[in-house]
Chain A
Amino acid sequence: MGQLGSRVGLYDAATVRVSATGTIQVMTGAHSHGQGHETVFAQVVADKLGIAEAAVEIVHGDTSKIPFGMGSYGSRSLAVCGSAMDRALDKIIAKGKKIAAHMLEAAEGDITFENGSFSVTGTDKAKSFGEIAFSAYVPHNYPLETLEPGLEETAFYDPNNFTYPAGAYLCEVEIDPDTGKVTICSFTCADDFGNVMNPMVVEGQVHGGVAQGIGQALVEHTAYDENGQLLTASYMDYAMPRADDLPFYQVDHSCVTPCSHNPLGVKGCGEAGAIGSPPAVVNAVIDALHRAGMDHVDHIDMPLTPARVWAAMQA
């Protein structure tokens, strides 16, 4: 990001600590407050190392334990912190190969790591990930002169570009002609988020984002009177979207164009729902009014409350 002119490194960081028994703690700079990092990050680690997800613990949020990171925002956690984690895992594997080469009496360049196993290419000589981890911490047969014990690595990753997710959002509304009340009948989102590590978590991100966006489009409003007095100081006047304001969503991410510049090929998905939904809702309302012959309405300020829509219809 520094290269793009941000003048700071918008990196993130991860430390991967393998224990003597082969279980793993990953300390991440990004914080999870409901996004599901604990699930998805563990999945990425488990996939890459060929071990069980249950053996991976994601540690976040405690600044006395984690490396200094930039945090969760801008739909960046997996793309940036996940990539840092991937880089740290590369270092773990590289060190594992050195240990395996010694144990298997082969050249480091001849070691392949696949499905949780270090093997001498083209032979059946192999050591499991757990055996390597054990050897790193109980270094009997170990090249102590040239290699430090332990299996723990940190990586900082500063992306050299943004990720570019793309999507299309379709909203269908009905407007009560007598009251101006907008009801959302259906809502469909299609997004290309690059590689999708966990479809359910990604859908959840989109659902939450769309709910937030519909709230913005239809109800949420911070209003002041002419003297600067806040009129929406409690939930009696500040409307939050509630479950019955929202439809069931159709979410699709069948179009996968992997990101070309991060190791996971992932793109941001956290903000897509909240970005795509307000214009979809507002355009649907304007379109519905046009279809009903009210061509003069081509703009209504959000939120599209019944009172505002009705007023626009009268104009």
Chain B
Amino acid sequence: MYNFEFAKAKTIADAVKALSSGDAQALGGGQTLLPTMKQRLAAPTTLVSLNAIPEMIGVCVNDAGEVCIGGATTHATVAREAAAHYPALAALASHIGDPAVRNRGTIGGSLANNDPSACYPAAALGSGAVIKTNARDIAADDYFLGMFTTALDEGEIITEVRFPVPQKANYQKFVQPASRFALVGVYVAKYAGGVRVAVTGAASDGVFRWAEAEAALSADFAATALDALAVPGNDMIADLHGSADYRAHLVKVMTKRAVAAAA
């Protein structure tokens, strides 16, 4: 690791200011960024820690009934504090990595990173969440722009994520045997206005919505409603851990299981 400066912001404004100078980068839980720096794949001159900004930490429910999670809230806190309000989301958080990862890693860090195998992107897209930053509100549908790519501008930080709470929801994660990230993860959420299905781990462009499944499930929220559907393998990731066809197959299997578990 190269030398770097370390700044611990106390307010969002402080953090934004610190991030505007030079080659500064936000630090959440460091679960992704620090290993990247150790491998010298990133060399920011300054790290701006977001972990001591009270307004960015915690879980609450707003007047609209949405679950609001501060951008620097750890997975462990979400697993604990969101359980009563949005169980499927809390369950997802409780299966990210291991306890060490969950006690450091944050929702903002995960969404900013947008790893194609990460879990939170599926929850955010599957719930039609709003990603609030220091500058604006971004709908999840406009936020994920491809593998490790998001709508965030340079120096823009995720301050909060707002999740509309569905009637029913479930996340099914089929783990990659080594990393235990999602080889395929499917988030299914049923709202009054329809069903959303978000898939992570599978596609080379990262998390995506499976439109045909959403239509079928909005008409009939049962696993059997998916019987006639198939996901094409064209855009799927193919690697050591699974072919494109295998991933495409798993998308359907995991979607059915999520529906069965949610129903």
Contacts and interface: CB of A to CB of B under 8 A. Distances in A.
Interface of A: 178-179, 181, 218-219, 221, 223, 231-232, 235-240, 305-307, 310-311
B178 interface: yes
Contacts of A305: 177, 241
A310 B240 contact: no
A310 B178 contact: no
Contacts of A235: 178-179
A239 B177 contact: yes
B134 interface: no
B242 A307 contact: yes
B196 to A, nearest CB: 23
A237 B240 contact: yes
A310 B179 contact: no
Interface string B219-261: 0000000000000000000011111001001100100000000
Given A236-B179, A305-B241, A307-B243, 16 more contacts: A178-B253, A179-B174, A179-B250, A179-B253, A218-B177, A219-B178, A232-B178, A232-B240, A236-B178, A237-B179, A237-B240, A240-B178, A306-B177, A307-B241, A307-B242, A311-B243
A223 B177 contact: no
Closest 3 CB pairs of A and B: A239-B178, A307-B242, A239-B177
A80 to B, nearest CB: 37
Nearest to A305: B177
Contacts of B250: 179
A235 B35 CA distance: 13
A218 B246 CA distance: 17
14 contacts: A179-B253, A219-B177, A221-B240, A232-B178, A232-B240, A236-B181, A237-B179, A237-B240, A237-B241, A239-B177, A239-B178, A305-B177, A310-B249, A311-B243
Interface residues of B, number: 15
Most buried by A among B246, B249, B253: B246
Contacts of B183: 306
Contacts, number: 41
A309 B127 CA distance: 33
A238 to B, nearest CB: 6
A223 B239 CA distance: 11
Contacts of B178: 219, 232, 235-240
Q: Select the residue from A231, A232, A238, A310 with max chain B CB neighbours within 10 A.
A: A310
B19 to A, nearest CB: 28
Nearest to B252: A178
A179 B243 CA distance: 13
B257 to A, nearest CB: 8
A310 B246 contact: yes
Interface in B164-196: 174, 177-179, 181, 183
B185 to A, nearest CB: 13
A310 B184 CA distance: 15
Which of B174, B177, B250 lies at the interface centre, i.e. has the most chain A CB atoms within 10 A of its CB?
A: B177
B148 to A, nearest CB: 15
A231 B242 CA distance: 13
Contacts of A221: 240
A231 B241 CA distance: 11
A218 B240 CA distance: 14
A311 B179 contact: no
A270 B253 CA distance: 42
A231 B240 contact: yes
B96 to A, nearest CB: 14
A175 to B, nearest CB: 14
A239 B253 CA distance: 23
B240 A223 contact: yes
A222 to B, nearest CB: 11
A219 B183 CA distance: 14
B182 to A, nearest CB: 13
Nearest to A231: B240
Contacts of A219: 177-178
B115 to A, nearest CB: 11
A221 B240 CA distance: 10
Contacts of A240: 178
Contacts of B253: 178-179
A305 B242 CA distance: 9
A300 to B, nearest CB: 14
A232 B177 CA distance: 12
Nearest to A218: B177
Most B C-beta atoms less than 10 A away, residue of A219, A239, A240, A307: A307
Contacts of B249: 310
